[in-house]
Amino acid sequence: METIKPIKIGSKKSYPHEKLTSAEVGKLWATYMGNSMSTRILSYFLQHVEDQEIKTLLEHALNLSEEFQCTIKEIFVKEKIPVPHAFTEEDVNLGAPRLFEDEFYVHYLKYVGKAGMSIYNVAVPLMYREDVRNFYLHCMNSTMELMEQIKTILMNKGFIIKPPIIPIAENVKIASPGYLKGFMGDVRPLHALEIAHLYDNIESNVTSKTLIMAFGQVAKMDKVREVFKKGEEITLRSVDHYMEKLRDDNLPAPSLLSHLVTTSTFSPFSDKLMLFHKVDMFSMKIRAFGNSVAVNGRHDLVALYGKSLADIFMFVEEASKLMMENGWMEVPPEAADREDLASN
């Protein structure tokens, strides 16, 4: 594979008088870590893919991840910011047996692509230095293009059920005083935005459940396997509750993907990488739930998302502590500790 060069961003060649803001440093750090992880995972996927269209999709996604990493590394080196250790060749075994079927790769790319777009979408308004601003615009546009390719393959190959279709009302409706009820009595049907976010959360959690099941199947450390088992149970419970809400209104939902994991117990990834992946992606669910609650109008859904959030916080805390115990958790650049400086 050809060497990836950093993209040319902005019209200036250097920024000697304009330091990076905390927002720029933080988002660049998070983007580097996520794409470092992705390059290792996608490199392994490419060792076990037979469908040519899916292989081309994986290669494109890998090239983007390597490009993003290369650009950030160049910025950090110029600014004398320590480049994260992140993940290396030691965190992946390219010779490991196949762990997933080809179809899963497409679902996985959509899963992590949505997470990437979430990071870039938040980053763009916070970036002010021209090179970093242009970099994140490029990340956003490139990932959106990738997502369109992913959706095309999912639909053309029949891998996905599209969000439900609902009847169109003849007239504009105005909410009645009981509009927010959801636990008992005359509960109204789900509205379009509630359906959209239930569907989105099911879709993401179905992929997450499959991935964490596979990770638990191959993890080397007992404590890591135990954490993954808890994460799988949390995710499956959430999926069941979200599906139930759609079924109550006779609406279809995405299917489980567990059958796309092979029976291999030989791990292609380090426990460090797999645990980081799930902490990172579970943290992303918090933002997804926030978006869901923001457009929700029924008390039962608020309670459901609230319970899911509590479960996620519990998982992230336990998994993070395990990472710290093993010396696996890198932290983002921090503000100065003025009290410590004063005491010295």
Of 217 and 12, the structure prediction assigns the larger pLDDT to 217
CA–CA separation, 314 and 323 (whole Å) = 14
Confidence tier at 292 by pLDDT (50, 70, 90): confident
Whether the Cβ atoms of residue 295 and residue 193 lie closer than 8 Å to each other? yes
The Cα diameter of the chain in Å comes to 73
Q: What are phi and psi of 68, to 5 degrees?
A: -60, -45
Q: Say if residue 40's pLDDT is above 50.
A: yes
The yes-or-no verdict on residue 80 having pLDDT over 90 is yes
- DSSP 8-state class, residue 165: P
pLDDT at 94: 97
Q: Residue 196 has which token pair?
A: 């959209």
Average pLDDT rounded to a whole number, residues 232-246: 95
Contact status, residue 25 vs residue 81, Cβ threshold 8 Å: yes
Alpha helices in the chain (DSSP H): 22-45, 52-78, 102-123, 130-156, 192-218, 222-248, 271-294, 299-325, 338-343
Give the Cβ contact number of residue 306 at 10 Å: 12
Question: For residues 160 and 174, what is the distance between their CA atoms, to the nearest angstrom?
Answer: 34
Location of structure tokens 């239930």: 198
**pTM confidence score:** 0.91
Q: Which residue has the higher pLDDT, 133 or 286?
A: 133
**Residue 156: both structure tokens together:** 């053309």
pLDDT of res. 1: 45
Residue 7: per-residue pLDDT: 56
What span, in angstroms and rounded, lies between the C-alpha atoms of 276 and 215? 12
CATH homologous superfamily, domain 22-156: Ferritin, core subunit, four-helix bundle (1.20.1260.10)
Domains of the chain, residue spans? 22-156, 192-325
DSSP label at 261? B
pLDDT for residue 266 is more than 60: yes
* CB-based contact 71:6 (threshold 8 Å): yes
| 77 and 6 Cβ atoms separated by less than 8 Å | no
The three-class DSSP label of residue 18 is coil
pLDDT at 196: 93
C-alpha to C-alpha distance for 230 and 311, rounded to whole angstroms: 10
85-120 pLDDT, tens digit per residue, is 999 999 999 999 999 999 999 999 999 999 999 899
Fold of 192-325: Ferritin (1.20.1260)
Over 90: is that where the pLDDT of 5 sits?
A: no
Same fold, 22-156 and 192-325: yes
- What is the mean pLDDT of the segment spanning 32-40? 97
Mean of all residue pLDDT scores within the chain: 90
117/115 Cα distance (integer angstroms): 5
pLDDT of residue 296: 80
Type of residue numbered 309: L
What pLDDT does residue 11 have?
A: 40
